[in-house]
Amino acid sequence: RKEVEQDPGPFNVPEGATVAFNCTYSNSASQSFFWYRQDCRKEPKLLMSVYSSGNEDGRFTAQLNRASQYISLLIRDSKLSDSATYLCVVNWSGSNTGKLIFGQGTTLQVKP
């Protein structure tokens, strides 16, 4: 089983749609969770951290379910500029050395 698994997609949605991405992780000792965004042929950039209580940043909502070892990202009112690959990221065994495990990414294509 992969340590961090995502549905690679692609997800093709019209502008204005709501889309949700899911991610599961295998290491129950993981303590920090993130969503990174990666544009084509560019470096990953932090989109948002994921907190136990869930958190929202504008049109983006992240949820964490520790019991099920499951993370989600919801994007409301999709924009063309949201087209990118979204990487689910988990820290390794709660280590403070910052070792992160990346999922393979979910590709989103928002169409006019």
Partner 1 sequence: NAGVTQTPKFRVLKTGQSMTLLCAQDMNHEYMYWYRQDPGMGLRLIHYSVGEGTTAKGEVPDGYNVSRLKKQNFLLGLESAAPSQTSVYFCASRLPDRVSYEQYFGPGTRLTVT
Which residues of the shown chain bind partner 1 in the complex (CB under 8 A)?
4, 8, 32, 34, 41-46, 49, 87, 91, 96-105
Q: What b/e string do you get for 31-49 counting C-beta neighbours within 10 Å, with b at 16 or more? A: ebbbbbbbeeeeebeebbe
Contact call for residues 19 and 78 (beta carbons, < 8 A) = yes
In the complex with partner 1, the residue whose CB is nearer, 13 or 100, is 100
The 3-state DSSP class for residue 71 equals: strand
State in angstroms the smallest separation of the CB of 89 from partner 1: 8
In the complex with partner 1, the residue whose CB is nearer, 37 or 78, is 37
Phi and psi at 106, nearest 5°, equal -120, 125
State in angstroms the smallest separation of the CB of 6 from partner 1: 8
State in angstroms the smallest separation of the CB of 57 from partner 1: 14
Contact call for residues 21 and 106 (beta carbons, < 8 A) = yes
State in angstroms the smallest separation of the CB of 55 from partner 1: 14
In the complex with partner 1, the residue whose CB is nearer, 81 or 97, is 97
